[in-house]
Amino acid sequence: MFRLEKKIAFVTGAGSGIGESIARLFAQQGAHIVLADLREDAAQRVAGEIQEAGGSARVQQLDVAEESQVKAAIEQIAAREGRLDILVNNAGISHVGSLLETSFEDWERVMRVNAGGVFLCAREGVRQMLAQSPGGGVIINMASVAAMIGIERRLPYCASKGAVLALTRSIAIDFVTQGIRCNAICPGTVQTPFVEGYLARNFAGHEDEVRQQLHARQPVGRMGLPNEVAHAALYLASDEAAFVTGSALVIDGGWTAK
């Protein structure tokens, strides 16, 4: 079950954290992975380790917020791999600040990557999925529990992830009869380099204290692990999830159940 034999998967933000775990797991399940990341060296490390383990992978340096780069990346997939079966929109950034602590530049920066990047990658991905034969494919968008609840001093992040959730539902409905499924994953706080970087930038000298707070806000008493999210993505990407589209799968240790 949940095999991805000979599927072509494009994973953004694949150089670390959740994206890295998804790329590794998909490769283990038989997919050929195109790892996209702004940091080419990080993606090369992951791709190299996938290949050493017997998997199939290559790297695409990519800024998901740059339209020309996204178009070129999908065109290259069509030329080199011949088709696109799975698109995982995982790349994202964050910002700490309330409405009054957020500049318009901060707002635009977060929205451009988190919402704009999903829009651009999904649009070009759908175009390719409709053009190929046989047509169709799977899109998985990484949203967040921040799309569903208010989180203190995370204004643009919450807004951007809310947009991802709305995009997911719209894409699912618009292309449901054309063989394309689109779903979102809404993780709680997951222990990744993304989170560690956020702690270092915003809570220097208090990392341990804030890290414990992040563990404690999930009722299970800890942050999630990237591999726990990756297995959810594997299900959504697989043929076993053929009846699932327009859904938001919450993986948050009970946070939003409170």
Q: Which of 10, 119, 157, 198 is catalytic?
A: 157
Q: Do 33 and 6 form a contact (C-beta atoms < 8 A)?
A: no
Dihedral angle at the C-alpha atoms of 57, 7, 139, 123, nearest 10 degrees?
80
Calpha distance 120→130 (Å, rounded): 16
Calpha distance 192→17 (Å, rounded): 5
Calpha distance 86→230 (Å, rounded): 14
CA 118 to chain centre: 9
Q: In the annotation, is 157 catalytic?
A: yes
Please classify residue 61 by burial: count the beta carbons closer than 10 Å to its beta carbon, then call 0-12 exposed, 13-18 middle and 19+ buried: middle
Cα radius of gyration rounded to whole Å, the chain: 17
Which residues are marked as active site? 157
